[in-house]
Structure 1
Amino acid sequence: MVITPDIIVVLCVLVVVILLFVFDWVRVDVVGIMVLVGLPLLGLVTPQQAVSGLSSNAVVSIIAVIIIGAGLDKTGVMNHLARIILRIAGKREKRITAMISGTVALISGFMQNIGAAALFMPAARRIAVHTGIPAGRILLPMAFCAIIGGTLTLVGSSPLIMLNDLLVIGGIKNKPFGIFSMTPIGIMLVVAAMLYFAVLGKKILPDGKQQDVGGPLSPLLDKTYHNVGDIYEMYIPAEGFKENTLIGLQIRANYACTVVASYNHITHKRIVAPLPEDLLCPGDSLAVVGDEVYVKKMAADLGWSYSDELKVFADDLSQSNAGIMEGIVTPRSRLVGKTLGSFQFRHKYGVTPLAIFVGHEMIISDLSNQTVAEGNALLLHGKWSSFHRLKEQNDLVFTEPVRGEVVREDKALWALGCLAISLFMILVLNIQLSIALFFGALGMILGQVLSIDEAYQSVDWMTVFLLAGLIPLGIAFENTGAAKLIAVTLMNVLGVPSPTLLLFGIAILTSFFTLFTSNVGATVLLVPLGINLALSCGCDPRAAALTVALAASNTFILPTHQVNALIMRPAGLKSVDYLRAGIGMTVLFLLVLVGGMRLLFL
């Protein structure tokens, strides 16, 4: 083939894109927009092709699946999933990473990997907050395994879905692959990836900033209310304690500590902001906020034990679910002139007063009898959903934004139903991915799981524009003939290779193309090429075709794959993070893939 000026230009564009990704000179979505605008100006694609990425099946599917994931998160479904994972895996990073990555990989074998990753991302982010593990250390292995999970079955990825249609050898369609023909190799790849992160995770995963899971106060409030203390769990022994109420124990009066949650070991009921008249029994647990000196004294006096690590209340009082807020009493507040006890914060709003700041004095003990005046500051503990309800009353002005959101648990079954219908449409009715997923997203909105504004806000537009810009770059490679030129040149260099070298060459070439072009485009181009070369080398052409389809999932070095792009912002990742973790994963993928093909198909 002849090297044309257009081929030279598109290769230069590719080099510039790689440099921008690697050195992070501008944000990745800006790179995508630059490509989207630059390619038609250079005459490499038509204006229609340049904007085609915005309406592509992949990009539209991402928008829809993010909305579905947001709906599931809004109803608390993902919080329950996170709780189950934490109950099984604890707070150990390797176990959490392996469990999430393995589950997502399995699901990716039967649905599009972007869908599996997007649905699990809210739960993974919640787990990061619960455990203090940087989100990138969970989400990056999850993303890689979601991509690799597409190799588990014939319906796991687009290249494998279309593989049988490309098996034309000498004008005759060859024996098709079964749905589980590639499963042994897919399992090898998934296991290899999980071992890769288990062994080298600390060296290759981004350090990030560990989530703060320490005391209950924000840095701002800690400067003012440092005497309030931290949060501790207290355990009442099964013997030696007589039943008593919270008010009967006089914990605040005697120890300057506040009970913010209780757990009944018989009913297994956890209550945030328990009432003063609630009964405590032997074997129950409490969460208290106070200075460790007083907590220690209380434990010694009452014969209880305590811990500064939350176990019983790890989920209920995690930073994603509950915390402490400071509220200033407004001039027209109903609190003015009343005592704190008469306002019944626990009964009405499910929040617990910890302290009141009057002038320059902070009061912790005897809060119930304190008369509230305009301008007083109250320190309150409770669930974020309770603070959102309290904020609507306009009795207090909070000094910091209220975290979290109101969870619509009553819509959980509806949200799960929308997801189930979308999956049924994809897997059984064979409806196009984007249409089926948008049907589910629409169901979330019509069912009032999400408002339309919340749906818009949930979409990560950085991901959308990154992928929308890279799709026309792949089209430009095909339009100019650059893709075919590179493929033919490499195959000519290989000459008449051995079967192992042939498979390596095919796998490397496919891996390169899928970084910048669509995996479908790379498969369409390289399967016929691989088949013809395999015939000339006396190698099984079906093995060469399958190698191409599987190697199309070997795309880890840059955030150009839709799954990698999806997690980039939530995980706080940069292009160099993909490069550091992706180089080793790419090499390992090639070795396991070719080794598996040699073992099972040649």
Structure 2
Amino acid sequence: MTGYNIFMSTQALITLVITIVSTILLAGGWLRPDLVALLTLGILGVSRLVSPDQALAGFSGSAVITILAISVIAAGLHQTGISYSLGQLMKKLAGSNENRLILVVMLSGAILSMVMNNIAAMSVLLPAAMSLSRLTRIPPSRMLMPLAFGVIAGGMATLFTTSNIITSSALKDAGFSPFGLLDFLPIGVPVILIAVLFMRFIGKRLLPERFPAGKVEHFHQKREELMNVYHINSSLWEVAVPHGSGMAGLSIRDGAWRTRIRVNVIGITRNGSFISSPTPDVIIREGDILLTQGEPALPVLEYYGLKLLEEKPITGELINGESTIAEIALAPHSNIVGKTLREIHFREKYNLTVLALWRAGKPIHIGFAGKPLRVGDGLLVRGSTKNLRILNQEHDFIFLEEDPDAIVHPKKARLAGLIGLATLFVGIAGWYPIALVALCGAAAMILTGCLNMDEAYASIDWKAIFLIAGLWPLSTAINSSGLSSQLIQSLLLFSSKVEPIILVSALLFVTMLLTNIMAGQAAAPIILAPIGLAIAKSTGLDARMVLMTIALGCSLAFPTPIGHPVNIIVMGSGGYSYKDYMKVGLPLTVCLFFVILFGLHLFWGL
């Protein structure tokens, strides 16, 4: 390396200082990460280390567009109930045990990312994991980082990852045999296993425990308080309809359950399926198990051949994917003051069930349908989110709380699923860039009514958008200032003086470093692939082994959120800070660093 200058240019030195200061501020948590990113963008632009166009290029970059579009697609899957169904499936596999949930989430991410693009895998699993968090009441911060790390680790076992494709193409262009689909498996599978075991036994102790949005957790607490305040649990009963019952064969309306039995029928278990919020025209059949609410009279139950089950139902049965609860109050100038719920045909008009009336500091569970309503009365109602929102548009009622988990457009579930699958298929096929495919999928979700524009805007994690767009010009400056060249020239100089194992370790470390400071799933392998080929030529090392090192190093993106797009995607939903990624991701990276080196020795002749 004759003529190599050990001194950095002024631009490279300034870029290095900005990089170090930004990293310290992001890791220290003294300022919001999105604010640090915007400050970094501003300083780079003002100092002319990047042009104005380059400074703002991140906002139109493929990573930002992809993350934005996936947020909208995930919201569409959630609001139509698809994510709820996937969450139910994952819950069925893992139960409510956090350790098993971490295993299921990580392995699902790893397996799916082995057969498709990492971002596509995340777009499928993120809404399901969020729904799983809501179902199990386990904070999303305990699941989403394991999910992201599982997706990244799974990508190391397949050719479909961006960095793996780039290095394989570089080999082909240089006249070497490109990587095959299975070439990454011998190292990738042990990487997945070690990553899963690490998160199961060590990483889970380092994960934060927080509900980032606040609103969701507040509603869960509020919902439980409502159940307790209205004494709902004490008024829930399950009633069996045996053979020969006098109520069998009658509709709920004709059976007059509220007046005869003194209960409201709010659910029916029939042939293993649960019918939520049955209409008054639903026929009661022999063998049905009715979920009822009220004050049943035992002599009347016996008279009609009904059986009160001893085991009390739990309040959780009131809330499922299709139904939720809400508390409403009469507006001060309501037109229905003095009228009864029966007179205004409340249930028939809104298709909602009133569980209890709150008046004078206590709940009333039965007979309230015939009581004139007063200003200050509270009603605990149950039904679909769509019907609750229709009620919310009425000026006679004031909503005191709305469920943020609610499924808003259940009838669009099949359509949303088709859009999601189509987006996934086209993304896997690689006919168009993933950003464009995801954006079209998001637009299709909105056009078909799976969610509206306001819901789409609300679903986007703008903090993540500004973080990645703000730090994007830093990678440009690292390239254009000569800082990356300085690091690479140092590595080439170093390569002529050391043993292969030390050289490959240094190459793996530099690749990991550039990946985590340059958002380098594309940038790092593009820069390092020709350098790796030059090192292989000058040292006699196997070129495929050297580029395998670079490819795998680009996936050691665990210590920073900008290291990989999937880290950014879960950052807002999980409520993670930069420090959280360092705390969990750095020790995992150290473990996998040595696993990769051992794999290169064992399978690639290092």
TM-score, normalization by structure 1: 0.86
2:148 matches 1:143: yes
Change (3 A) 1:364 1:309: closer
SS at match of 2:357: strand
Q: Which of 17, 30, 33 pairs up with 2:22?
A: 17
2:280 matches 1:305: no
Q: Is the 8 A contact 1:129 1:319 kept in 2?
A: no
SS at match of 1:179: coil
Please state how far the C-alpha of 1:410 moved relative to its aligned partner: 3.2
Change (3 A) 1:576 1:218: same
SS at match of 2:144: helix
Residue in 1 that maps onto 2:474: 473
CA distance in 2, matches of 1:345, 1:189: 59
Please state how far the C-alpha of 1:546 moved relative to its aligned partner: 1.0
Residue in 2 that maps onto 1:183: 185
Change (3 A) 1:202 1:162: closer
Please state how far the C-alpha of 1:343 moved relative to its aligned partner: 4.1
2:112 matches 1:107: yes
Q: Is the 8 A contact 2:516 2:560 kept in 1?
A: yes
2:164 matches 1:160: yes
More deviation, 204-213/59-68: 204-213
SS at match of 2:585: helix
- Deviation digits for residues 531-567 of structure 1, max 9, x if unmatched? 3334444432211111101110111112113211221
CA distance in 1, matches of 2:288, 2:557: 53
- Deviation digits for residues 289-311 of structure 1, max 9, x if unmatched? 89xxxxxxxxxx9352236485x
Q: Which of 566, 570, 575 pairs up with 2:573?
A: 570
Change (3 A) 1:468 1:397: same
Change (3 A) 1:237 1:262: closer
More deviation, 407-416/45-54: 407-416
Change (3 A) 1:418 1:114: same
Q: Is the 8 A contact 1:236 1:282 kept in 2?
A: no
More deviation, 385-394/416-425: 416-425
Q: Is the 8 A contact 2:353 2:381 kept in 1?
A: yes
Q: Which of 322, 325, 328 pairs up with 2:327?
A: 325
Change (3 A) 1:84 1:372: same
More deviation, 424-433/70-79: 424-433
Please state how far the C-alpha of 1:353 moved relative to its aligned partner: 1.9
More deviation, 63-72/371-380: 371-380
Residue in 1 that maps onto 2:304: none
CA distance in 1, matches of 2:601, 2:75: 43
CA distance in 1, matches of 2:156, 2:190: 10
Please state how far the C-alpha of 1:174 moved relative to its aligned partner: 1.0
More deviation, 504-513/95-104: 95-104
Equivalent runs, 1:376-455 vs 2, <5 Å: 376-401=377-402, 403-404=404-405, 407-428=408-429, 430-455=431-456
More deviation, 479-488/254-263: 254-263
More deviation, 120-129/382-391: 382-391
Q: Which of 9, 12, 25 pairs up with 1:4?
A: 9
CA distance in 1, matches of 2:220, 2:61: 47
Residue in 1 that maps onto 2:302: none
Equivalent runs, 1:84-123 vs 2, <5 Å: 84-123=89-128
CA distance in 2, matches of 1:426, 1:231: 52
- Deviation digits for residues 72-130 of structure 1, max 9, x if unmatched? 22222212211222222221222222222222222323433223223322221111111
CA distance in 2, matches of 1:586, 1:232: 54
CA distance in 2, matches of 1:180, 1:503: 22
Paired AA for residue 112 in structure 1 = N
More deviation, 135-144/576-585: 576-585
Change (3 A) 1:241 1:215: farther
Residue in 2 that maps onto 1:597: 600
Q: Which runs of 5+ in 1 are unaligned?
A: 291-300
Residue in 1 that maps onto 2:209: 207
SS at match of 2:558: coil
Q: Is the 8 A contact 1:261 1:288 kept in 2?
A: no
Equivalent runs, 1:190-339 vs 2, <5 Å: 190-208=192-210, 217-218=222-223, 221=226, 226=229, 228-230=231-233, 244=247, 260-264=266-270, 266=271, 268-272=273-277, 275=280, 279=284, 281-282=286-287, 284=289, 286=291, 302-306=308-312, 308=314, 310=316, 313=317, 317-318=319-320, 322-329=324-331, 331-333=333-335, 335-339=336-340
Paired AA for residue 192 in structure 2 = V
Residue in 2 that maps onto 1:294: none
Q: Which runs of 5+ in 2 are unaligned?
A: 296-306
Q: Is the 8 A contact 2:76 2:450 kept in 1?
A: yes
Please state how far the C-alpha of 1:207 moved relative to its aligned partner: 2.2
- Deviation digits for residues 505-538 of structure 1, max 9, x if unmatched? 2211111110111232211222232333344444
CA distance in 2, matches of 1:557, 1:435: 28
CA distance in 1, matches of 2:162, 2:234: 50
Please state how far the C-alpha of 1:499 moved relative to its aligned partner: 3.6
TM-score, normalization by structure 2: 0.86
Matched-pair identity in %:
27
- Deviation digits for residues 449-486 of structure 1, max 9, x if unmatched? 33333333322221111111122101111111111222
